[in-house]
Amino acid sequence: MRIFFLTTNDRIFLPGFFEKVFSGIDYQITGLAVVDDPHFKRFLKNSLSFMGFWLFMDEIINQLKIRLKDFFFSIFTPVKKSSIKSLCKRYKVPYMSVKNVNSNDFREFLKERDIDVLISVACPQILKRKILRIPRKGCINVHYGLLPNYRGQYPSFWVLAHGQRETGVSVHYMVEKVDAGDILVQIKEKILPEDTFYSLVGRLKTTIGPQALIMALEKINRSENSVIKNDPGKGSYFSFPTRIDMAQFRSRGRKWR
C-alpha cells in the first residue's frame, strides 16, 4: 500500500509521532509534505491573546531552545533528533515543503505518486474535494479527541478546561467538512489528575496517536469496512481559546507544562 503524509513543522511532539509510525509500518511511504500555515500570523496573535504575555514568551523561548539544540547537535552528528526533516532523511522518506495543498501543481504531483492513502497529521490547511478524491482508498486524519465531541482546534486544551475525565484519538476518513468523516479507529485515554496540557498532548501524539494510525492503516489494507458513524449533527465543536477560557483551564488546577 502506498501512502503520503501531510503535516506541519512541529518540533515538539510530531517527531516522536513519526518516529513510531515510520518504524512501525511496512507500507511504501511515497513522501511527506510539511504544509505552510496560511494563518500563522493570526495564530501568533490569538496565542498571545489567550496565553498572556509571559506564557507566550515562554513558548517562544522553548521553541528557540529546541532549534538551538538541533543546531549544536548537528555539529557532532549528521542526524538531528527533533525535526521531521531529519527523520525523513533517516528513514529515506521523500521530504518536501508545500505552500498550497489544493493547488493544481500539488494535485498533479500527488497523482504522479499513485497513492492509496493520503494521511493528514495536524495539516494546517483544509483539503478540498479535488484533492480528497485523488487517493484510491481515501484520505484519513488523526484527530486528538473523541469524535464527534471536541471537533476543531485545541481538543486537549478544551477537555482539560471542561474537567473531562477521558479523551483519546480518532482516526477518521476525511470529507470536505472538518472532522466529520466516519471513524476508522478510536482509542480512549484517561486524563490524569496531574496532567498538564503538555503531558496530555505528548501522550496522545507520541503514544496513542501512532498506535491508532497504524491500526487504521491495517484496517484499510485489509479492506475492512467497519466504521463508527461520525454524525455531524451531534457532538461539539471548539475553536481557538480566549483568555476567559484560559482562566477556566487554570481554575481546574491545570497547568500548561
- pTM strictly above 0.85: yes
The answer to whether 210 touches 180, Cβ cutoff 8 Å, is: no
Contact 87, 15 (CB under 8 A): yes
Q: What domains can be seen in the chain, in order of their start residue?
A: 2-251 (3.40.50.170)
Closest by CA position to 143, among listed 111, 171, 174, 183: 171
Q: Which pLDDT does position 124 carry in this prediction?
A: 96
Residue 151, all three cell numbers = 471537533
Q: Which residues of the chain have pLDDT under 70?
A: 70-82
Residue with cell 475553536: 239
Question: What CA–CA distance (Å, rounded) separates 93 from 81?
Answer: 15
- Residue 47 confidence (pLDDT): 92
The answer to whether residues 41 and 49 touch, using CB atoms and an 8 Å cutoff, is no
Q: Which residues does 110 contact at the CB level (< 8 Å), separation at least 6?
A: 4, 118, 131, 134, 135
pLDDT of residue 235: 92
Q: How would you write the chain as a 3-class SS string?
A: CEEEEEECCCCCCHHHHHHHHHHHCCCEEEEEEEECCCCHHHHHHHHHHHHCHHHHHHHHHHHHHHHHHHHHHHHHCCCCCCCHHHHHHHCCCCEEEECCCCCHHHHHHHHHHCCCEEEEECCCCCCCHHHHCCCCCCEEEEECCCCCCCEECCHHHHHHHCCCCEEEEEEEECCCCCCCCCEEEEEEEECCCCCCHHHHHHHHHHHHHHHHHHHHHHHHHCCCCCCECCCCCCCCEECCCCHHHHHHHHHCCCCCC
- Do residues 184 and 216 touch, judged by C-beta distance below 8 A? yes
Model pLDDT for residues 70-112, shown as the tens digit of each residue: 666 555 555 555 689 999 999 999 999 999 999 999 999 999 9
pLDDT at 82: 67
